Structure 1
Amino acid sequence: MATGTLTIDLSALAENWRALDRMSATETAAVVKADGYGLGAGRVAKTLAEAGARTFFVAIPSEACALRAALGPAPVINVFAGHQEGCTQALKDLNAIPMLNSPEQIARHTSALPDHPFGLQLDTGMNRLGIEAYDWSPEMAEGATLVMSHLACADEPDHDANSDQLRAFLEMTAGLLVPRSLAATGGTLLGPDFHFDMTRPGVGLYGGLPFADAQSVVTLELPVIQTRTVQPGEAVGYGQAFRAEDTRTIATVSAGYADGLIRAMSGKAQLFAGETPCPLAGRVSMDLLTVDVTHLERVPDHLTILGAQQTVDQLADAAGTIGYEILTSLGHRYTRVYA
């Protein structure tokens, strides 16, 4: 097979949701935006629904399509981007609930879909999405299904921004009888003060930090399609970025930055033959990786780049990025196996 195999462990996904659910006494939703963090929103959402999730979050209305097809009409689907121009019909058809982010969106929603449910997102210090404190009035929440905000630094438990945003959220929502939500994965780990009526984990469901106890969800095995001996002084790959100081055995592996293995990991990341690490030799190209396998007694027919040996966050460290980028970049040329 000339393409990698991406195995998605649905039982690990479900157990990660259950583990995060056990951390709070409130409802635990699930964030499945970006096609279920790159793993297939329909399959992911169905598994999480079977585990107990009944509320889901996506980024934009079109992402709700796969969820409705997989889940049917019952589960709640919230849309972070709110009610934008051109989205009215999709919100209505999909029965998706926009998290309204501004007075303009509130006016648009009230005019276009007056009987359609809505939630509200408040800006408590992230300055990204949400109603600003100077625009906010508690009367806006009348009839809302949820009032939420988002933490900027929840992956750093001791960061002052966490307590600052908690205080701002409490002040803006004081006296409201509407359900409230502040915590994603990191906020869930911060403890009960951040849980309110709903937590909404995302990356932790998929095995990513800051949920250090998460089970690994993805395994990515890449086929070796050629092996060669490189003599001292010979170079490998574009720009001749790797030059052999002695005789080396180089395996060429079928995957590259077109498959989400970003170029920034060139010369830094490693793959694994069983438990044995094998370093990348030279640059990541569009479709191929070159890997130093000199130390192996036998070159296997595939090497593993994600799995028990190396998490998405460890691979991300090698590339100078975060696990979110690795997960959501995984390409569609892989053969996907749901286990």
Structure 2
Amino acid sequence: MKLATEQTETGLSVDLAAVAANTRHFRKVTNGELMAVVKADGFGHGAVNAARTALAHGATRLGVTSLAEALELRAAGLKAPILSWLNPIDAAWDQAVRAGIETAVPSLEHLAALPETAAVHLHLDCGLARDGADPAIWPQLCQAARGRRVVGVMGHMSSADVPADPMNAAQRETFDWGVRVALANGLNPGHRHLAATAATLNDPLSHHTMSRIGAGLFGIDPLNRLHPALTLTTPLISVRTVRKGTGVGYGHSWVAPDTTRLGLIGLGYADGLPRAASNRAQVLVRGERRPLVGRISMDMAVIDLGTAEAGPGEPVTVFGPGGQGEPTIAEWASWAGTIEHEVMTGLGSRPVRRVRFAGPGRQR
């Protein structure tokens, strides 16, 4: 990971103390084990650092989607159990077994392709019509898995972020049925996990022997119980004064209503600023929120500085935890009409990562 050498560089600060605090919070709200899900490079925070931090503060296992992500964690020296749950039938199963990686089985075809020595979690589709085995074939899958190393049964919920949604009860019932079928076929899955972040926070009835915590590790929670870990800063590249009627950016989607000062930053949609947030997003300059104006381009965006006495090199906070008045990732997601997960995982490689352990004891 490339580290910053100058404060004036565009930098993405990763506060691992926030990840630690979030992990401890989840440790308190459930009696089961915690699987720290660090897929997509730890939601853009760095998978290895996030995994180590979570394991040091209450997580006991790790989860990823692909075998490549799991093998990267093993190569970094992480010894904790790892589950990978989204792989093609012809994945490198022998390599996974040698590395001690557990794998999810969503179909009869996957089960047949896996070595008999593989430790597997049978994956039941509880109502997303996405990954996991169709309930119609679940009894057959459990029967075919007799004699295999079935260490877990897993599922996922579609609507756990809305506690009153009736789908939650229906999907809990589907999962409970799936476990009963597995037991009736002589299987003994020690790990039974249905709840991800939202269900762990909102639905105690979905807690079984383990919860999978991904988004929550990194502060995603609509009720603001958790600690965001990312802060993105960048310097002003240039500042100019423009007259009333000056159009900004492609298509002149914003026209200056009066004489004003415009600041240019070297961040755009290639760096993860959603283009859909154009003419809605804000940034923090000298303690004051200022709007981005014109369309966000691939490599740059323009700030209406108004009367702010800011010049080239002035630091701009694009987003952060929010304690100093800066916009949050949740606000950026709202401006773009998307979710925080997409903003986090869409951050490009150009901002220089600064890893720190500063602690979440800041004003929220």
Band the TM-score falls in, shorter-chain normalisation: over 0.9
Answer with 132-141 or 33-42: which moved more.
Answer: 132-141
Q: What amino acid sits opposite 1:311 in the alignment?
A: T
1:159 and 2:165 matched = yes
Structure 1 residues 295 and 195: CA distance shift in structure 2, 3 A: farther
1:331 and 2:336 matched = no
Q: Find the residue that maps to 2:344 and give its secondary structure.
A: helix
Answer with 207-216 or 135-144: which moved more.
Answer: 135-144
- Residue in 1 that maps onto 2:44: 38
- Corresponding residue to 1:321 among 293, 313, 338: 338
Q: Find the residue that maps to 1:252 and give its secondary structure.
A: strand
- Corresponding residue to 1:268 among 266, 274, 280: 280
1:136 and 2:138 matched = yes
Consecutive aligned runs of 4 or more in structure 1 exceeding 4 Å deviation: none
Counterpart contact for 1:268–1:318, Cα < 8 Å? yes
1:65 and 2:67 matched = no
Provide the C-alpha distance between the structure 2 equivalents of 1:37 and 1:314, rounded to a whole number of angstroms.
Answer: 17
Give 1:70 shift: 2.8
Provide the C-alpha distance between the structure 2 equivalents of 1:141 and 1:292, rounded to a whole number of angstroms.
Answer: 62
Counterpart contact for 2:97–2:117, Cα < 8 Å? no
Counterpart contact for 2:103–2:118, Cα < 8 Å? no
Give 1:83 shift: 5.8
- Residue in 2 that maps onto 1:78: 83
Provide the C-alpha distance between the structure 2 equivalents of 1:163 and 1:140, rounded to a whole number of angstroms.
Answer: 28
- Residue in 2 that maps onto 1:9: 15
Answer with 233-242 or 63-72: which moved more.
Answer: 63-72
TM-score by structure 2 length?
Answer: 0.88
Structure 1 residues 251 and 30: CA distance shift in structure 2, 3 A: same
- Corresponding residue to 1:242 among 243, 254, 263: 254
1:311 and 2:328 matched = yes
- Residue in 2 that maps onto 1:127: 129
- Residue in 2 that maps onto 1:192: 204
User: Gapped runs of 5+ residues in structure 2?
Assistant: 1-5, 357-364
- Residue in 2 that maps onto 1:26: 32
1:169 and 2:175 matched = yes
TM-score by structure 1 length?
Answer: 0.94
Structure 1 residues 275 and 160: CA distance shift in structure 2, 3 A: farther
Counterpart contact for 1:82–1:100, Cα < 8 Å? no
Provide the C-alpha distance between the structure 2 equivalents of 1:43 and 1:13, rounded to a whole number of angstroms.
Answer: 10
User: Gapped runs of 5+ residues in structure 1?
Assistant: none
Offset from partner CA, 1:237-276 (integer Å, 9 cap, x none)? 1111111111011100011011111211111111112541
Q: What amino acid sits opposite 2:262 in the alignment?
A: I
Counterpart contact for 2:163–2:203, Cα < 8 Å? no
Q: Find the residue that maps to 2:301 and give its secondary structure.
A: strand
Counterpart contact for 1:62–1:90, Cα < 8 Å? no
